[in-house]
Each structure stands twice: as C-alpha cells, then as structure tokens.
Amino acid sequence: MIIQALDLGKVYQKGKNSIEVIKEFNHVFESGKMYLLKGASGKGKTTLLSILGLLDKPTSGKLLLNGKEIDFTKPGVLCDIRKAEYSFVFQDYALFENLSVYENLRLVYEDTDEKLDEKRIDDLLQKMNLSHRKYHRTAELSGGEKQRVAFARALLKDAEVFIFDEPISNVDEGNAQIIFDIMKVLKTTRMVMVTCHTSVFDNICDEIVCL
C-alpha cells in the first residue's frame, strides 16, 4: 500500500476568519513503515491524520491510494475503503461504554460479509490479557484495559493501514510496553501512522513527519 499526499491543504472557516491548518503537505507513506506525526499543539496532526485516514476531506491538493486519486465527494466509497484497508485507535479509546468487551470487538464484523471469528477474538483477548473481562461492560474497565480493548478492536481487522491517534496518552508504563510490542510487529508488514505529543515513539518509528 502506498499513500501519496500531494499539496494537501486544509482550511477551517470560522465565521469570517480562515484558519489554515495544513498547507501544501507532500509525503509518501508506504507499507512496512511506521510514521510518527509530530508537531506542536494546533499544528494539524489530528487533521492530517483524519485526511490520511479518509475521515475528513482536504480543501486543496490530492490524496492517492496506490496511485489512484481518492474522490472525497463520495462518502460511500470512502466508507468502503476504510472498512477494507484501515484500522483506527482513537484518543480516549472511542469504545462503546455500555457494550461489553466482546460486543465492542464484534462490531468489527457488523455490516460486512466477513464471518464472525470467535477464535480470533478469544486469541486477541488472551494476547491482550483481557480474557477475564470478555463479558464486562467497557465502562467498568480501567484506562489501561480500555486502551487494550481499543487495540484489540483495531488488530481484529486485517487492515493495511493502522492509524493511532495519541495511543498512549492515558496508559501506564506496563500497558505502554504491550502497545510498543504490538506496533513493532505491525510495522514490519503494515503501514502504521501515529501521532504523539511526547517522544516515546521516536526510537521505534521509521520516519518522523514534522508539521
């Protein structure tokens, strides 16, 4: 998988004022690498990640996926690409708090032809040390456990691109290590994009993209 950003720009309109968050951004992202998006607060890390993750559309420029230009005017097509190629871990875990850990993972199989793989779910839960929490509501979990559920949900999908937005902002050292280990394995075959306001990923990423 190759993602090419060509002169990407994003301008937010707030009343009469225009705020240019991203200006003529150019970069090539490839599978088998981990990219760390760095920059001071307000520099557009999350916005860029949104555009690269097809969650938001740029106001200028192009985004090419394996050489093919993405048409941001077709939400249905974007949704299908996200479903097939992308996996996300969002800030604050973005879990459904009233559903159980298992139900949160099952959501990955919703609205898809893919057959529910119970064994894969169990294996991932075991790997994440969450087997004993399988049927607990995620609202009852600790911050570290929630983070691991969010990772389990992302890893359940056989995606090409993994996007992590501030993935260790709320986890302790032990859990952070689990996440590092996962990322190290992931980046060997997949494309991994991470935003982080600290330097904890500096040593394991392949490329730092400064904004």
8 Å CB contact between 136 and 128: no
- Which among 54, 57, 8, 4 has a CA at the least distance from the CA of 29? 4
Question: Which H or E run contains 24?
Answer: strand 17-30
Environment class of 96 (CB within 10 Å of its CB; exposed 0-12, middle 13-18, buried 19+): middle
Toward another protein, which CB reaches closer, 145 or 165? 165
Nearer to another protein among residue 110 and residue 173 (C-beta): 110
Binding region for another protein (CB under 8 A) out of 15-23, 33-41, 73-81, 200-208: 73-81
CB-count exposure of residue 67 (10 Å: 0-12, 13-18, 19+): exposed
Question: What is the pattern of x (binds another protein, CB under 8 A) and - over residues 31-60?
Answer: ---------------x--xx--xxxx----
Give me the least distance between CB of 203 and another protein, in Å please.
Answer: 26
- Please identify, among the stretches 21-29, 65-73, 109-117, 181-189, the one whose residues bind another protein according to the rule CB under 8 A: 109-117
C-alpha 148/C-alpha 168 separation (Å) is 10
String of contacts with another protein for each residue 152-191, x by CB under 8 A: -------------x--------------------------
